[in-house]
């Protein structure tokens, strides 16, 4: 991992450690920590999506489906089979990874909007299953009485305990993903994104790498889903529909699709924006998110992280006319 990434990681860890004490000074500690817990859960999901779309160049509208598979796996195993939540969480990741492999082997042969439509169709099918399998998922009424997590026999209670657990996991996932991107596998993923046929000509097994990153993305989404399950203690199919896949894509796109730091930045920003400001536009949700996606694609396609390279001084300086330069 480069020194720059290590420094950013250290600064991020310090900011996260100090955040609860900072919000305590301004009040509403419980509210802001609750939002940050959800932001951390979504960060875990979006780190996988950033690897898949930003670095491997594969479009996916199924992230909410894998998020739901992890969530319902943990919920069903703990409620109906009395599993320990810590044992149920990796099982959810394994199941999501297996489903991703079964779907990815044929689907990732497609490219562009064909791949997007295939993953969209898969996401719709999973959402229908969550609604119709009332015996296991509770259907539209939801799955209730899901137990929370415990550490050394002590239940996690309160937002601050969940905050440190979730964001500690985010930092671990970040370290893993950063090391992956700066390895031989990461270089192969970038090559696939830039030009797949050229990567194949260089001997890179593109089909295998695409499936592997798809499986990894699904496993991370399932991990986020498991945390979500045991935090809210209630599941409803509405939390895993197509709009959630669009939200996840928007979060990554706002921050910067080809940057893990951008994925974290965009996720935190959009989680706060969605909770604080966009609630008043709930009836126009599709229009609002579609407008944001269009605006980002047109005016800031590389996300907020690209702002550091924009020559702001050049914008502020009044350009001299050609005649003025001639006179001088």
- pLDDT at residue 285 above 90? no
Beta strands in the chain (DSSP E): 150-151, 154-155
In tens, the pLDDT along 227-243 reads 999 999 999 998 898 88
Over range 26-35, report the average pLDDT.
Answer: 78
Whole-number pLDDT of residue 27: 65
In tens, the pLDDT along 202-214 reads 888 999 999 999 9
Confidence of residue 280 (pLDDT cuts 50, 70, 90): low
Burial class (CB in 10 A: 0-12, 13-18, 19+), 146: buried
Over range 181-192, report the average pLDDT.
Answer: 91
Whole-number pLDDT of residue 323: 40
Q: Where are the alpha helices (DSSP H) in 27-84?
A: 29-49, 63-80
Over range 156-161, report the average pLDDT.
Answer: 85
Residue 186: C-alpha distances to residues 51, 189, 214, 232 (Å): 9, 5, 14, 35
Over range 235-264, report the average pLDDT.
Answer: 90
Confidence of residue 26 (pLDDT cuts 50, 70, 90): low
Question: Between 28 and 98, where is the model more confident?
Answer: 98
Question: Between 274 and 139, where is the model more confident?
Answer: 139
Confidence of residue 89 (pLDDT cuts 50, 70, 90): very high
| C-beta separation of 263 from 252 below 8 A | yes
CB atoms inside a 10 Å sphere around CB 280: 9
Question: Whole-angstrom Cα distance, residue 221 to residue 67?
Answer: 5
Over range 143-148, report the average pLDDT.
Answer: 90
> 155 phi and psi, to 5 degrees?
-65, 140
Helix (H) or strand (E) run with residue 82 in it: none
Over range 106-121, report the average pLDDT.
Answer: 89
**Please, what are the domains in the chain?**
3-327 (1.10.3470)
Confidence of residue 298 (pLDDT cuts 50, 70, 90): confident
Over range 251-271, report the average pLDDT.
Answer: 91
Whole-number pLDDT of residue 316: 37
Question: What value does the mean pLDDT of the chain take?
Answer: 86
Range 91-94, long-range pairs (CB < 8 A, 24+ positions): 92/222, 92/223, 92/225, 92/226, 93/219, 93/222, 93/223, 93/226, 94/219
- Give me 143's structure tokens: 């799955």
CA angle 76, 65, 187 (to 5 degrees): 120
Residue 226: C-alpha distances to residues 78, 91, 220 (Å): 11, 10, 10
| C-beta separation of 26 from 81 below 8 A | no
In tens, the pLDDT along 39-73 reads 999 999 999 999 999 999 898 999 999 999 999 99
Q: Is this model's pTM higher than 0.85 or not? A: yes
**Helix, strand, coil percent content, the chain, rounded in steps of 5:** 80, 0, 20
* Portion of the chain with pLDDT greater than 70, in percent: 90
Computed over its alpha carbons, how large is the radius of gyration of the chain? 21
- pLDDT at residue 35 above 80? yes
């Amino acid at each position: 991992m480069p020194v720059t990434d290590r420094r950013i990681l250290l600064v991020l860890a310090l900011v996260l450690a100090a955040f609860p004490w900072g919000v305590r000074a301004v009040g509403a500690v419980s509210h802001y920590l609750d939002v940050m817990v959800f932001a951390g859960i979504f960060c875990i999901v979006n780190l996988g999506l950033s690897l898949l779309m930003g670095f491997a160049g594969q479009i996916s509208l199924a992230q909410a489906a894998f998020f739901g598979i992890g969530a319902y796996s943990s919920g069903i195993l703990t409620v109906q089979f009395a599993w320990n939540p810590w044992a149920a969480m990796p099982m959810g990741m394994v199941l999501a990874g297996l489903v991703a492999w079964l779907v990815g082997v044929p689907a990732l042969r497609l490219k562009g909007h064909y791949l997007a439509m295939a993953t969209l169709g898969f996401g719709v099918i999973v959402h229908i299953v969550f609604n119709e399998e009332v015996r296991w998922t509770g259907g539209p009424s939801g799955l209730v009485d899901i137990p929370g997590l415990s550490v050394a026999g002590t239940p996690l209670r309160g937002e601050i305990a969940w905050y440190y657990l979730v964001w500690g996991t985010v930092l671990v996932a970040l370290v893993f993903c950063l090391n992956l991107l700066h390895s031989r596998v990461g270089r192969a993923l970038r090559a696939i994104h830039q030009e797949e046929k050229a990567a194949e000509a260089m001997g890179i097994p593109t089909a295998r790498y695409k499936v592997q990153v798809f499986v990894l993305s699904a496993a991370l989404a399932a991990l986020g889903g498991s945390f979500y399950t045991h935090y809210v203690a209630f599941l409803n199919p509405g939390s895993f529909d197509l709009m959630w896949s669009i939200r996840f894509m928007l979060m990554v796109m706002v921050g910067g699709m080809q940057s893990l730091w951008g994925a974290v930045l965009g996720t935190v920003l959009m989680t706060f924006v969605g909770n604080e400001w966009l609630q008043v536009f709930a009836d126009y949700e599709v229009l609002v998110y579609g407008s944001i996606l269009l605006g980002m694609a047109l005016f800031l396609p590389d996300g907020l992280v690209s702002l550091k390279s924009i020559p702001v001084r050049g914008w502020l300086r009044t350009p001299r006319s050609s005649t003025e330069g001639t006179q001088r």
